[in-house]
Amino acid sequence: MDVLGLYPMWYVPTIGSAIVIGIIASIHVMASHVSVGASILLAYLATKAYKENQPQIYDYIKRYLLTLLVFSYVSGSISGPGIWFSATVANPRGISALIHNFVWVWAAEWIWFVAEVTLVYILFYTLGRIDQKSWLKLAWIFAVGSWATMYIIVGILSFMLSPGHEKWFTTGNILDAFYNKNYFPHLLMRSSYMLAFAGVMGLGIAHLMKKGISEKVYKDIVRTMSYWGIAGVIFGSVFFAWYYSTLPERSHVILSGVVPTSYYVGIGLVLLAILAYFTLTSIVPNLARIYASIPLLILIFAIGVFPEEKIRESLRKPYIAGEFVWVNQIIDKDIPAKGIENEVNKINEKGFLAVNAFVPEGLKTITPENKIMAGKAVAILQCSGCHNVTGASGLRPFAKKFEGMTSEDAVYGFLANYLTPQAHPPYMPYFVGKDEELRALSAYIADMISKGGRVSAKIEVPPASYEARK
């Protein structure tokens, strides 16, 4: 029996594995963006302290470094591997596609990352103990190293959305994949917004230290944070417009038709709130407050970064990476340069359940006894990356999408015309498999709808199908 290199499926009922990754990734984005932004702001402040001979600025820098150590480096070091673990079990082929292109790029990122982590400790513990000039050099190396990790990871993230140039499909060249069309706008957009995030944190820390430093130094620091922050929001938004213009066509359909309006409203409001805060503190520095910064950082996380990460996950649909692996892990393109073959025809011919080595034997051949279970297996394997296929709430639930369709024929009639290579919407893959598998999927959906739209996620192989095989 021919099998394809498919993997077991991690099915998270209701919210789906995508939201699990989304939550972990958003924590990571918060931690890393604040820390990369701060590394640049602090190197700038350290230069100012050195040139203008203002030792009190170093007290502030030290406090900020401690905040980074406790806030960013602990949560960042936990959530970073968390993305690896969750993404690997959620989509082994997606991760594999990325590793096969970018293994050395990742190796380079880790070197910068190790440098960054080591330096934040060195900077904190050597401040005031070594001469200012050497410390300043280390501070700038920290800033460059921190930003280098972003410089590298953005290339991989942009490739996930699209290789950008058709030529990568024939050359398979790593640089074609890395410097894809939306690389620079993406990098510059993140680089700008991270300065704003770090500025919000910086204002809160300035408030906490107000009593310990002179008024002049306090005002200097608050103004620096505010000006950089204002520039960050404005430039971030300009680069967003550039980023938007480099998106593939299907992403525009998704942005206008699939992403909920509330996401845009939330992100817009957060940006306005940050801009207002910086504008106020740049005029009246005494208004910087930790009680404003912390709630604002929570808002940035909840209605800024989290929806942004969700949108970024959505924009690349139906693909998980490089416009050749779908979210359900099926490969729909030949990429000779990489030795990758389109699997669609083979699956259509052999059967979707038959080519996956992890589908129980008793479900590979469809019989009247196992039909509904086999259909559930198809739904979990082929649709659950983007849908809650066993319930009525959470991620685009099937119970809502197929509301009222309690007959197998009705579901089949709909899907057979909708999820075809010609008619499928640009954000969803078409159905792949034998016609009897589409029938089984339809039977399962009709059955779950007639049971009230909520069934167990368990796959049970009916005993009769073992009998049938004997």
* Interface residue list for ligand HEC (CB under 6 A): 258, 317-318, 327-328, 382-383, 385-387, 396, 401-402, 415, 419, 427-429, 431
Name the residue nearer to ligand HEC (CB basis): 147 or 412.
412
Query: Rounded to the nearest whole angstrom, what is the least distance from the CB of residue 62 to ligand HEC in the complex?
Result: 47
Query: Rounded to the nearest whole angstrom, what is the least distance from the CB of residue 428 to ligand HEC in the complex?
Result: 4
Residue type, 48: K
How far apart CA 144 and CA 139 sit, in angstroms, is 9
- Taking a C-beta distance cutoff of 8 angstroms, is the pair 293, 200 a contact? yes
Name the residue nearer to ligand HEC (CB basis): 209 or 419.
419
Instruction: Output helix, strand, coil percentages for the chain, rounded to the nearest 5.
Output: 70, 0, 25
Beta strand residue intervals within 222-379, DSSP E: 319-321, 325-326
Query: Rounded to the nearest whole angstrom, what is the least distance from the CB of residue 330 to ligand HEC in the complex?
Result: 9
Is residue 179 classed as helix, strand or coil in its secondary structure? coil
Query: Rounded to the nearest whole angstrom, what is the least distance from the CB of residue 240 to ligand HEC in the complex?
Result: 22
Query: Rounded to the nearest whole angstrom, what is the least distance from the CB of residue 165 to ligand HEC in the complex?
Result: 23
Name the residue nearer to ligand HEC (CB basis): 277 or 319.
319
Name the residue nearer to ligand HEC (CB basis): 216 or 400.
400
Using the structure block, give the residue that is written with the tokens 């009190």: 56
Q: Which of 81, 141, 73 is nearest to 112 (CA)?
A: 141
Query: Rounded to the nearest whole angstrom, what is the least distance from the CB of residue 341 to ligand HEC in the complex?
Result: 20
Is the CA virtual torsion 225, 68, 148, 293 positive or negative? negative
Name the residue nearer to ligand HEC (CB basis): 19 or 108.
19
Name the residue nearer to ligand HEC (CB basis): 199 or 318.
318
Q: Give the chain's radius of gyration (CA, Å).
A: 26
Tokens of 233: 């929001």
Tokens of 360: 């129980």
Query: Rounded to the nearest whole angstrom, what is the least distance from the CB of residue 317 to ligand HEC in the complex?
Result: 4
Name the residue nearer to ligand HEC (CB basis): 219 or 396.
396
- The contacts found for 253-261 with CB under 8 angstroms, 24 or more apart, are 253/425, 253/426, 253/427, 254/314, 254/315, 254/317, 254/426, 254/427, 255/311, 255/315, 257/427, 258/314, 258/317, 258/427, 259/311, 259/314
**Residue 321 DSSP symbol:** E
Query: Rounded to the nearest whole angstrom, what is the least distance from the CB of residue 438 to ligand HEC in the complex?
Result: 8
Name the residue nearer to ligand HEC (CB basis): 53 or 256.
256
Q: Tell me, rounded to whole angstroms, the distance of Cα 303 from its chain centroid.
A: 15
